[in-house]
Amino acid sequence: MTRRTTTLSASASAVALAAALALTGCSSSSSDAKSGPELKVSGAFMPQPVMDMAGGFLTITNGGNTADKLTSVTSSLSDDITIHESKNQKMQEVKSFDIPANGELKLERGGSHIMFMELKKQPKQGEKVGIELHFEKSAPIKVELPVEAPNHNPKQH
């Protein structure tokens, strides 16, 4: 069993390597291979929801030379998740948010946010909500949102 597993994983990693090389070759065909978006997520949280809807906040930093877009968010918490911007005290759904090259996208209280409707359960402070961010160019990123107090706002610290 041990020997068979070893052989198998060795050939599996060879396949994975070949696939990775093929992928790299493909994406570099358009321009510089090193210039894709390089996204990092920080400061994520969800204020404890008071009704069956919730907001999600986080910052996405792009260290690459190519802009990207946040296009959608998915989670097992809700089947109805949209991205909203706030203008003149009103929020409205948008199709995507720009993540500028060598810049950042900030989703923060009073501004742009992720909107979760018809929650399947009520997450409590101290729990975590798993979400997946989807982008125009980059691969999806999984993020755990710590559930904070309903009025939590890191900007006020």
Residues that bind Cu ion in the complex, under the rule CB under 5 A: 84, 91, 115
Shortest Å, Cβ 91 to Cu ion: 4
Q: What is the DSSP letter of 38?
A: -
Shortest Å, Cβ 81 to Cu ion: 10
CA distance 138 to 134: 8
Contact 58, 70 (CB under 8 A): no
Compute the C-alpha angle 144/147/132, nearest 5°.
25
Shortest Å, Cβ 90 to Cu ion: 9
Q: Which is nearer to Cu ion, 55 or 123 (CB)?
A: 55
Q: Which is nearer to Cu ion, 48 or 138 (CB)?
A: 48
Contact 64, 101 (CB under 8 A): yes
Closest by CA position to 39, among listed 58, 21, 24: 58
Helix ranges (DSSP H) in the chain: 2-27
Q: Which is nearer to Cu ion, 66 or 75 (CB)?
A: 75
Q: Which is nearer to Cu ion, 64 or 145 (CB)?
A: 145
Shortest Å, Cβ 114 to Cu ion: 8
